[in-house]
Amino acid sequence: MNKIIRVGIYIRVSTEEQAKHGYSIDSQKTRLITWAKEHNYQIVDVYADEGKSARTKIFNRKELLRLLDDVKDDKIDRIIIWRLDRWFRNVADYYRIQDILDKHNVDWECSDEDFNTSTSNGRLYLNIKLSIAQNESDQTSDRIKFNFENMVRNKRPISGALPVGYMVAGEKQNKRVVKDPSLSQMAIDMFEKFEETLSLRATTQYLNETYPHRPIGYERVKKMLQNSMYHGVYRDVEDYCEPYITKERQDNIIKLIKKNHRPNKPSGHVFIFSGLIRCYDCGRRMGGSRASRKHTKRGVVTEIIRYGTYKCCNHFLDCRCSNNHTINEDKLERWMIDNFLAKLNEHVISIETAEEKKTKTNNINKITNLKDKLERLNELYLDGRISREKYDNDYLDTKNKIKELNIDDELDSNRNLSKYKEIIKDANVVDIYNKLDRKHKRLFWYEYIDHIEQDFDNINDNWLVFFK
């Protein structure tokens, strides 16, 4: 009995290749689907990375990552590709992926090229082929860099990503970077506002309030104020574009930024919830800062109390978030101590319930697949395609597997959740926590918590805790 081979079809094409050679997604897809049908393969899915060059890093190929996820879930027996260069042009990347495939007994083949990796000569040929492909890719990259340098020398744009106030205009060989009439005033206001206030934050806030349709962040404003393109220079090429300001004026602005900018120096203070709190509005991790409160008596300061706070930098720095609440670290810590164990217990119960449902669903699916296998065995035996001995062995083995799945196995969630259950049962956990220094308190929270969010409906008195 021939095993039904489940295949994943992987396609990759860059926009340049599609335009020059017609290696379109559709043409590759049609070719590979036909190939799969000719070989009686069962197609699981088609994974198509469009607009991705051979040099694109693995983690930026979303469809390739989805394919590997299905490989790890044992949904695929084989991957089929059009040609080797659709798969990889980098020896190191190839072996990184091949290691994953080997662990899950997944092989691959090309519809239009013949490779045999089962022999030493076949593997040698594959290495040579990949090395040649990588060399071709490197040479292409060098040519592109040379062309870009030549375009810049001829004052032609090499990218559509430009600072505020500029745009690309013209046709084909006559394209140039010119001022953008719709945003030129915003660029002018940016320089004038900074020179007026000498404040990056005030400039950012002004731009976001005046031009709400074009939100901009603090760091981007800082970079744009120092961008040489605004005085007409790009990559040391003079008169690359029409300037907004003179070089002398921009040099003075850069000096003011460096003079007023105070780099953050490590204070040595440990924020217990650093990196754990997320803004309820924009989702950004809230930054820690030190604050102080003075106690006075008859006009005389008697005590200065210092404490930690957390705030959303998208609001207080970039002015792009509505969350203006400042979180007091001491209040949050007290709330966490009072509610941590109860929240953790709720988390454990929810996981166990979900695992039980998932296990039952998986068992039902497996039993269904095994019953389908029994039907196929019957058909194969009746057609005379397998012997009676083969039929009896496979039939008995399949029936035993169905019997095993019908027995409710004990869930392994107790093992997975053991560290949570241990701390829930520990009556002394609060006393132990209170004796820790700030560094180890932070490590304690990092051990169990993924992140914390303010409850939008009850900002001051309740928190949403998400466990790992």
Residue 404 · residue 397 · CB < 8 Å: no
SS3 at position 78: strand
User: Which H, E and C letters describe 139-201, residue by residue?
Assistant: HHHHHHHHHHHHHHHCCCCCCCCCCCCEEEECCHHHCEEEECCCCHHHHHHHHHHHHHHCCHH
Find, among 105, 124, 112, the residue nearest to 87 by Cα: 112
Q: How many CA atoms lie within 13 A of 248 on its CB side?
A: 0
Distance, CA of 267 to CA of 74 (rounded, Å): 50
Phi, psi (5° rounding) for residue 277? -95, 130
As a whole number of Å, the CA-based R_g of the chain is 31
| Alpha-carbon dihedral sign for residues 128, 134, 140, 145 | negative
* Residue 107 CB partners (closer than 8 Å, separation 6+): 77, 78, 79, 101, 117
Q: What angle do CA 329, 417, 286 make, to 5 degrees?
A: 25
Residues paired with residue 291 on neighbouring β-strands, in sequence order: 307
Tally of CB atoms within 10 A around 354: 11
Q: Is 450 exposed, middle or buried (0-12, 13-18, 19+ CB in 10 A)?
A: exposed
Tell me, yes or no, if 14 is annotated catalytic.
yes
Residues that are catalytic:
14
